Structures are given as C-alpha cells and as structure tokens.
Amino acid sequence: EAGVTQFPSHSVIEKGQTVTLRCDPISGHDNLYWYRRVMGKEIKFLLHFVKESKQDESGMPNNRFLAERTGGTYSTLKVQPAELEDSGVYFCASSRDRGALSGTFGSGTRLTVV
Amino acid sequence: GENVEQHPSTLSVQEGDSAVIKCTYSDSASNYFPWYKQELGKGPQLIIDIRSNVGEKKDQRIAVTLNKTAKHFSLHITETQPEDSAVYFCAAMAIGFKTIFGAGTRLFVKA
C-alpha cells in the first residue's frame, strides 16, 4: 500500500506570508495526526482527526494555525501569517486504530520562515 | 503537563558495540511505549514497542525494557551496524490519547 504522503517536502517563506501543507494518509485510515518538530526538540502533537472531525486539537499553538480534513481524506494545515518560530518539520501520521499504535508517518515538510 | 525525557541527545559507538538510550516519562497513566527510528529525509518509523504489562521485549538485535515503578524505559541495540545510524525517538502514551515524544537521540555508528 502507498504510505503517508506529504507535500511540499520543503518550503521557505517570508514572515507574514501564508503556507499550506498537505497530507494524504494511507487509504482507509480514519485517524490522521499532525505533529511538529522544532530543531533539536521533541516531536510535538498538534492535532488529531477522526475522519473529518477534530478529535483533539489541544496541541495547536495558536489561531494562526488552521487544519482541515474535508471529506475525511487528505488534510491541510495552513499557517497564516507565518512567524519565525513556526519553522520546523511538520509530520503527518495516519492509523486505522485510534492512538497511532500502528501509526505510519510521512516524510515531513520542512518549513523555514525567514 | 506530561513529558518524556530522553538521554543522551547524541551517542557515538563503534560498529559491533551496544547502544543504550534511556527515557523517563511523567504520566503514570501511560501504558504504551513505542520507539521510532528516523533516517535522513524520512519520517519516523516504528521499530519496536512495549506495553505496560510487559517488562521486556526483544526483536533480533533490538530490545526494550520497562520499569513502571520508576517510569523508565530503555532501548538496547546490540552488535550495532552503520545502518543503525539515525535519530531515535522514544514515546509514551495512554492508549487512546495523544503520544508524547522524547527529544530524540542521534546515534552514530562508526565503521
């Protein structure tokens, strides 16, 4: 089966601009997670979708971040306006079961805000 | 809040030696402990996991141990090979809830 696909793989934008990251989960996986790793730090949970519903968005940093999963398939994470501290690697993972027990991660999007 | 501490942040070993990475978690409700390996340009990949009702689990050259009383768990890699070089993340979760990751250990295996 195809894995979790994320694009773009890299994005460099200026402070104040908008960026949209996309994640295509493994087909049939209802659970989709977004994570972020800031340089050298831990991978931090951002939010969890079950199909198109936000199950847990407690990790979203602030209201500049907006995640959607219309139709319960792919998901987008938009940052508007981007700030310097938003730089990092954004990972998406999907799983059939809740809790990512068998979660598969995408390769990530490296976002650099300059 | 819940957190997972991971040590060391960097580990360099000679090929054939063993490598040990240690983690400590804070949430006593955690009952599932996965370990991930991240190679350059790829996402984290689950390599082994352990549940709280088990003290040790082994899969070829990789083993994990769990001490629930002390809230410690460790990854042991024996007979290391250059292809083991990567960043390793420990994580803890209460099943059904969000995963809390450690900060990662960059392992270098020198040939």
Using one digit for the tens of pLDDT, what is the confidence trace for A39-55?
889 999 999 999 999 99
Kindly calculate the radius of gyration of chain B based on its CA atoms and give it in whole angstroms: 13
**Residue B8: how many other CB atoms lie within 10 Å:** 13
* Predicted local confidence at residue A40, as pLDDT: 83
Which chain A residues contact residue B4 at CB under 8 A? Answer: 42
* Predicted local confidence at residue B75, as pLDDT: 98
Residues 6+ apart with CB under 8 A from A84: A15, A113, A114
Strands of the B72-77 sheet, one edge to the other:
B4-7, B19-25, B72-77, B62-67, B56-59
* Predicted local confidence at residue A102, as pLDDT: 53
Backbone angles phi, psi at A86, to 5 degrees: -80, -10
Residues B9/B61, Cβ–Cβ less than 8 Å: no
Which chain B residues contact residue A100 at CB under 8 A? Answer: 93, 99
Rounded distance between C-alpha atoms, residue A79 and residue A73, angstroms: 20
Using one digit for the tens of pLDDT, what is the confidence trace for A9-43?
999 999 999 999 999 999 999 999 999 999 889 99
Q: How confident is the model at residue A2 (pLDDT cuts 50, 70, 90)?
A: confident
Arithmetic mean of pLDDT, A47-67: 94
Rounded distance between C-alpha atoms, residue B72 and residue B5, angstroms: 10
The candidate with the shortest Cα–Cα distance to A27, out of A94, A76, A98, A77, is A94
Arithmetic mean of pLDDT, A74-85: 97
Q: Which residue has the higher pLDDT, A41 or A75?
A: A75
Residues of chain B with pLDDT below 50 are none
Which residue does chain A place closest to B3, by CA atoms? A42
Backbone angles phi, psi at B25, to 5 degrees: -120, 160
Yes or no, beta carbons of B43 and A4 under 8 Å apart? yes
* Predicted local confidence at residue A16, as pLDDT: 97
The minimal CB distance from B96 to the residues A99, A103, A108 is found for A99
Which chain A residues contact residue B102 at CB under 8 A? Answer: 42
Q: How confident is the model at residue A1 (pLDDT cuts 50, 70, 90)?
A: low
pLDDT at residue A103 greater than cutoff 80 = no
The whole-angstrom distance between B80's CA and the closest CA on chain A is 24
Yes or no, beta carbons of A99 and B32 under 8 Å apart? yes
